Structure 1
Amino acid sequence: MGILLALVPAIGWGIQPLIARKVGGTPANQIVGTGLGALLIGLIIWLIKGSVSGTAFWLSFGAGFLWSLGQVGQYISFTHLGVTRTMPISTGLQIIGTSLIGVLAFGEWPGNTAKLIGAVAILLVIIGVALTAITDHKGQGATSIGYGLSILVPTTIGYWAYGALPKMIHAAGIQLFFPEMLGIFVGSLIYALVRTKGAALGQKETWQNGFIGIVFGISSLAYIFAAQSAGVATAFVITQLNVVVSTLGAMLLLHEGKSHRELRYTLVGLGLIVIGSMMTATL
């Protein structure tokens, strides 16, 4: 059952970029829609399971708030890099950053053997990310890729915080859910107010993108139960298949073209990212 539950976020998180690109709208429309949908799921869980309070609430809220930073960075990058480049790079950066934070801040990977295996895993992920970023396009295409990376790389810090802050809280994951979703909504709202002076709130594309947030909320909820049932390591490894779903889905459904050389490097890169994430999860 745990493995089946883990397939929900693997598919759900994988199709989120595809929904965003199909629905369209600006990054402001997409992030506010995501926040609205996530808050809806969060409210339902709050009514059923309740929530943490005090410091735990605000740490969870902060994790969600910073996640919105990482997500808006992804949405902006989609317009410059496309889904097929953004998702492998973003996933790789998340694995690298989260792993290093776990080692340095929480004492994970104890022992020299574990650290050696972890270092090899991170190296594989780095190589995988580099391979997926290879392009045959020159000139303006290269400029667009450079700009996209300048947005994606620093905003990934938000994803790192989302993974790290809950580790400081001794509470059931389900009770952290509502403040995290509330933080996502508030973060998305502030972005829309700053970026569009609130105009995005009244645009239909924003509400249409609410489906992304619903998918995200359900997928995140499934991950909590999958980790409880199958273990964190197993659930994490399975959910990393989302990068395969999003990348291949973008090529098939969004028709993001790649040359034979780019496709070959992308497939090898995806394989290395998945292998690297599997190695870090077993330590």
Structure 2
Amino acid sequence: MTILWMLLPAIAWGVLPLLVSRLGGRPINQIFGTAIGTLIVSIIGQVILHPTINLTAFLMAAVAGAFWIIGQLGQYIGYANVGVSKTMPISTGLQLVGTALVGVCLFGEWATTAAKVIGVIGIVLLVVGVIMTSLHDRQEQAGDNQTRTIIMLVLTTIGFIVFNAIPKALSASGIAIFLPESIGMVVAVLVYMLSRGQLKIMRERVSWLNVLGGLVFSIASLTYIVSVSQNGVNTAFVVSQLSVVISTLGGLLFLHERKSHRELILTLSGLGLVVIGAIVTTLV
């Protein structure tokens, strides 16, 4: 059962990009549905488990949820622009690098010289892996679009980094912060929709279909919390990063995203480096 809890987050987070891509709609439809689905699950969890949380932690968790929307919206835009199989390795690698650096700078991780050396090696592997997955043959056709998408992912990944960092500063359990995080997500989505003049998407069927995305995300988040309690933070986190393998290969196999032979080799090799880099940076 321990192994199952360890694998479920990776499976669910790996399936999420494939699911929302299949459900369709624009990124704004997808992010709205995902946020609403997450809120529904968090309310059910609150009613059943009754976790407690103080006001300060509640507000910080809500802010974390709002920043998650920035990162996830960036991913959804990436899926639409360059595909799941290209977006996920880049986004995951950037998250791992950013989260590792925040851990070192703000939380004093990698305290010893040996840990710093090993950690830097892990980050280098991550960066090289991300670069390899972003290389392509059709420079004249896809170059500008991909460059813009990579820049967008770099900027929006800040949202994921903040989302991952805030819970480390809180003493509340993962279950307790799940509801305020989801409330922050919904508020952020509504603000985004209002700023874009897109409140009408709440009347679109595809927006509500994407609630399934929120249910899958919630499964990943809740099982990850259980995995951390049973397997420890490092093991749970490293295994959860296998989601990038599932989503990348799923994009190629199930969404029929095309790559040349050279691009495929570079993507798979880069993917391997991202996974190895994740293991190195979280086990130092």
What is the TM-score of this pair, normalised by structure 2? 0.97
- 2:29 corresponds to: 29
Counterpart of 2:227 in structure 1 is: 226
- Counterpart of 1:11 in structure 2 is 11
Q: How does 1:118-157 map to 2 (within 5 A)?
A: 118-157=119-158
Tell me, in whole angstroms, the C-alpha distance in 1 between the residues paired with 2:218 and 2:196: 24
8 Å Cα contact 1:51/1:177 also seen in 2: no
CA-to-partner distance for each residue in 1:129-172, whole Å, 9 max, x for gaps? 00000100122311110121122110100000011011111122
| CA-CA distance at 1:6 after TM superposition | 2.0
> Is the aligned partner of 1:95 residue 2:96?
yes
Structure 1 residues 116-125 or 141-150, which shifts more? 141-150
Counterpart CA distance in 1 for 2:202 and 2:151 is: 27
Shift in CA distance, 257/165, structure 1 to aligned 2, threshold 3 Å: same
Matched residues in 1 for 2:55 and 2:142: separation?
48
* Matching residue of 1:40: 40
Query: Is the Cα contact below 8 Å between 1:35 and 1:186 reproduced in 2?
Result: no
Aligned match of 1:244: 245
Which amino acid is the alignment partner of residue 66 of structure 2?
F
Instruction: Tell me which residue corresponds to 1:80.
Output: 81
Query: Is 1:80–1:147's contact at 8 Å kept on the other side of the alignment?
Result: no
Please report how far the alpha carbon of residue 72 of structure 1 lies from its aligned counterpart in structure 2 after TM superposition.
0.4
- The residue matched to 1:139 in structure 2 has which SS? helix
Q: Residues of 1 paired with 2:133 and 2:147: CA distance?
A: 14
Q: Secondary structure at the match of 2:196?
A: helix
Change (3 A) 1:96 1:160: same
2: CA distance, partners of 1:223 / 1:60: 17
SS of alignment partner, residue 156 of structure 1: helix
Unaligned runs of 5+ in 2: none
> How far apart, CA to CA, are the structure 1 residues paired with 2:275 and 2:139?
29
Measured on the aligned residues, the alpha-carbon RMSD in Å equals 1.0
Which shows bigger deviation, 224-233 or 196-205? Answer: 196-205
Equivalent residue letter for 2:127: I
Greater shift, 142-151 or 68-77, is seen at: 142-151
- Counting only pairs closer than 5 Å after superposition, residues 133-282 of structure 1 correspond to structure 2 as 133-282=134-283
Inter-partner Cα distance in structure 1 for 2:195 and 2:27: 13
Q: 1:257 and 1:265 mapped to 2: Cα distance?
A: 13
Asked if structure 2 preserves the Cα contact closer than 8 Å seen for 1:124 and 1:272, the reply is: yes
AA partner of residue 145 (structure 1): Q
TM norm structure 1: 0.98
Q: Distance in 1 between matches of 2:127 and 2:97?
A: 8
